[in-house]
């Protein structure tokens, strides 16, 4: 198992550990951001992180064989697929419909009685993973565990299933109206939303 500090080293090494003023998917503001796509662009690292998450999930799931791994798109796609590969399981993913509701599309489904796990790249409040847990339960699947590469909640997020992470961090994040960086007048950035311009 890769120790948490090596996971963070991997983020530093690939430029995925960003510092500045960011608006997270959860709506909270933070001086730090983990851009997982920059780590996962290397299949070798994705495979290694997937193998480690698979091992951690097997420990959490105990005797239950894991049939299906489910992830929220887009962040959970690559890591979820690698975890499924390591577990010898299937990988499915959820997307948001026009009203913002998390759903399974493209004919993907979980069957009643299947043992499922939820895998995401980073959790902050755990909101997306929790929605995937709900989608799976509505399908009748038995959600045995959840996991992420990074848990920014310091382990406090409630995913309504036992969960684990390769690195658990107590990162600072603020509601926008209490954000000290906003008060300093620093422009806020939504990571990943701005294309890199070629020179
Ligand atoms: Zn702010």
**Domain residue limits at 126:** 4-183
Evaluate if residue 194 carries a pLDDT over 60: no
* Residue 190 in domain: no
Mean pLDDT value across residues 148-163: 91
Separation of CA 146 and ligand 1 centre (Å): 29
Mean pLDDT value across residues 130-159: 94
Are β-strands 68-72 and 90-96 bridged in parallel, bridged antiparallel, or unpaired? parallel
Separation of CA 7 and ligand 1 centre (Å): 27
Can you read off the two tokens belonging to residue 112? 């009643």
- pLDDT tens, residue by residue, 107-123: 999 999 999 999 999 99
* Residue 197 in domain: no
Separation of CA 64 and ligand 1 centre (Å): 43
Separation of CA 24 and ligand 1 centre (Å): 10
Q: What is the pLDDT of residue 192?
A: 67
Separation of CA 32 and ligand 1 centre (Å): 11
* Residue 39 in domain: yes
* Residue 68 in domain: yes
Q: What is the pLDDT of residue 198?
A: 46
Can you read off the two tokens belonging to residue 192? 């990943």
- The angle at the Cα of 103, spanning 149 to 114, to the nearest 5 degrees, equals 70
Separation of CA 138 and ligand 1 centre (Å): 36
| Sign of the four-CA dihedral 192, 107, 114, 86 | negative
pLDDT band at residue 199 under the 50/70/90 scheme: very low
Separation of CA 19 and ligand 1 centre (Å): 13
pLDDT band at residue 4 under the 50/70/90 scheme: confident
Q: How many domains does the chain have?
A: 1
Separation of CA 44 and ligand 1 centre (Å): 35
Cβ-contact 145, 164 below 8 angstroms? yes
Look at 64 and 38; give whichever has higher pLDDT.
Answer: 38
pTM, two decimals, is 0.88
Separation of CA 26 and ligand 1 centre (Å): 13
Burial 121-147 (b: 16+ CB within 10 A, else e): bbbbbbebbbbbbebbeebebebbbbb
* Residue 177 in domain: yes
Separation of CA 30 and ligand 1 centre (Å): 7
We report the CATH number of the domain holding residue 58 as 3.40.50.2020
* Residue 189 in domain: no
pLDDT band at residue 196 under the 50/70/90 scheme: low
- pLDDT tens, residue by residue, 5-51: 889 999 999 999 999 999 987 789 999 999 999 999 999 999 999 99
* Residue 106 in domain: yes
| Whole-number percent of the chain with pLDDT over 70 | 95
- The residues that bridge with 94 in the sheet, in sequence order, are 72, 104
* Residue 18 in domain: yes
In whole angstroms, what separates CA 33 from the centre of its chain?
13
Q: What is the pLDDT of residue 99?
A: 94
């Amino acid at each position: 198992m890769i120790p948490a500090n090596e996971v963070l080293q991997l983020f530093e090494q690939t430029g995925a550990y960003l510092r500045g003023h960011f608006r997270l998917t959860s709506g909270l503001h933070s001086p730090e951001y983990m851009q997982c796509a920059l780590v996962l662009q290397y299949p070798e690292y994705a495979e290694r992180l997937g193998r480690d998450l698979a091992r951690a999930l097997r420990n959490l799931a105990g005797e239950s064989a894991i049939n299906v791994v489910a992830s929220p798109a887009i962040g959970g796609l690559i890591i979820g697929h690698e975890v499924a590969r390591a577990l010898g399981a299937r990988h499915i993913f959820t997307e948001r419909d026009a009203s913002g509701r998390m759903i399974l599309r493209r004919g993907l489904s979980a069957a009643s009685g299947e043992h499922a796990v939820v895998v995401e790249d980073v959790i902050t409040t755990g909101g997306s993973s929790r929605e995937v847990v709900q989608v799976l339960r509505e399908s009748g699947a038995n959600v045995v565990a959840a996991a992420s590469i990074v848990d920014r909640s310091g382990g406090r997020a409630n995913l309504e299933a036992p969960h684990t992470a390769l690195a658990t961090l107590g990162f600072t994040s603020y509601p926008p109206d209490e954000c000290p960086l906003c008060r300093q007048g620093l422009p806020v950035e939504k990571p990943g939303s701005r294309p890199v311009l070629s020179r």
